[in-house]
Structure 1
Amino acid sequence: MKKVVCFGEIMLRLAPAGYLRFEQAQAFEAVYGGGEANVAVSLANYGLDAAFVTKVPDNPIGQSAVNEMRRYGVDTSYMLKGGSRLGIYFLEKGASQRPSKVVYDRAHSSIGAAKKEDFNWDEIFAGADWFHFTGITPALGDNVAEAVLESCKKAKEHGLTVSCDLNFRKNLWTSEKAGKVMATFMPYVDVAIANEEDAEKVFGIKAHGTDIEGGKLSHEGYKDVAKQLKERFGFKAVAITLRGSISASDNNWAAMLYKDDEYYFSRNYAIHIVDRVGGGDSFGGGLIYALKSGMSNQDSLEFAVAASCLKHSIEGDHNHVSVSEVKTLMAGDGSGRVQR
Structure 2
Amino acid sequence: MEKNFAFNITQDDLSRFSGKGPIFVTFGETLIRETPADFQRLERTENVYISLAGSELTVATLLARFGVPSAYITRVPDNPYGWMVRDTARSHGIDTEYFVWANKAEPIGRLLYEIGRTPRKSVGWYQRMYSAASRLGSGMVNWKNALRNCELFHTSGITFGLAYHSHYEQNYLLDAFYEAMSHKPPSCWVGLDFNYRATLWRAEQCREVMTPLIREHVDILITTIEDMATVYGFSCGQYSPEQIDKGEMGEITDNDLRSLASHLGEYFNAKIVAITIRYPDSFEENRWESAVMDSQGHFFRSPAVKSITLLDRLGGGDTWNGGFYYGLLTAGFGPEGIHKGLLVGDAATRIKQTLMFDLPIITKAEVQDLLKADVEGGGKRVSR
Tell me the TM-score range normalised by the shorter chain.
Answer: over 0.9
TM-score normalised by L of structure 2: 0.84
Range with bigger deviation, 141-150 or 25-34: 141-150
Distance in 1, Cα, partners of 2:364 & 2:87: 24
Identify which of 66, 71, 76 aligns with 1:56: 76
Judge conservation of contact 1:196–1:243 (CA < 8 Å) in 2.
Answer: no
Q: Which residue of 2 aligns with 1:131?
A: 153
Task: State yes or no: 1:338 paired with 2:360.
Answer: no
TM-superposition CA deviations, 1:284-330 (whole Å, max 9, x none):
00000011110443232111111111111111111111122112212
> How far off is 1:222 after superposition?
2.7
Contact kept, 8 Å, 1:153 with 1:188, in 2: the verdict is: no
- For residue 158 of structure 1, report the CA deviation from its aligned partner: 4.1
2:85 maps to 65
Give secondary structure in 2 for the equivalent of 1:277.
Answer: coil
- Equivalents in 2 of 1:334, 1:29: separation in Å? 35
CA contact under 8 A between 2:327 and 2:339: conserved in structure 1?
no
Aligned with 1:119 (options 137, 141, 158): 141
C-alpha displacement of 1:274: 0.4
Distance 2:322 2:172 in 1: 26
Aligned pairs (5 A) from 1:226-305: 226-259=261-294, 260-266=296-302, 267-294=304-331, 295-305=336-346
Give the TM-score taking structure 1 as reference length: 0.94
Could you report, residue by residue, the CA deviation over 1:94-149 in whole angstroms, capped at 9, with x for unpaired residues?
A: 22222110001111111112211112210110122110000011111122222222
Question: What residue number does 1:5 align with?
Answer: 25
Q: How many residues align?
A: 339
**What SS is found at the alignment partner of 1:108?**
coil
How much has 1:23 moved relative to structure 2? 3.4
Q: Report % sequence identity.
A: 29
Query: Which contiguous aligned blocks of 4+ residues in structure 1 show a shift greater than 6 angstroms?
Result: none
| Residue identity in the other structure for 1:177 | Q
Can you list the C-alpha shifts for 1:248-274, whole angstroms capped at 9, x where unaligned?
111110000112312211021111100
5+ residue gaps in structure 1?
none
Cα deviations by residue, 1:229-283 (Å, 9 ceiling, x for unpaired): 1111221111111111101111110000112312211021111100000000000
* Cα distance change, pair 174–99 in 1 and its aligned pair in 2 (3 A): same
Mark the CA change 1:188 to 1:334 in structure 2 (over 3 Å): closer, same or farther. farther
Q: Please tell me the root mean square deviation across aligned C-alpha atoms, in Å.
A: 1.8
In the aligned structure 2, how far is the partner of 1:201 from the partner of 1:254?
A: 20
Instruction: Evaluate the alpha carbon distance shift between residue 16 and residue 284 of structure 1 in structure 2; reply closer, same or farther with a 3 A threshold.
Output: same
Q: Summarize the alignment of residues 114-263 of structure 1 with structure 2, pairs less than 5 Å apart.
A: 114-141=136-163, 142-155=171-184, 157-186=185-214, 187-207=216-236, 208-209=238-239, 211=244, 213=247, 216=250, 218-219=252-253, 220-259=255-294, 260-263=296-299
Contact (CA 8 Å) 2:38, 2:48: kept in 1 or not? no
Q: Is the 8 A contact 1:14 1:31 kept in 2?
A: yes
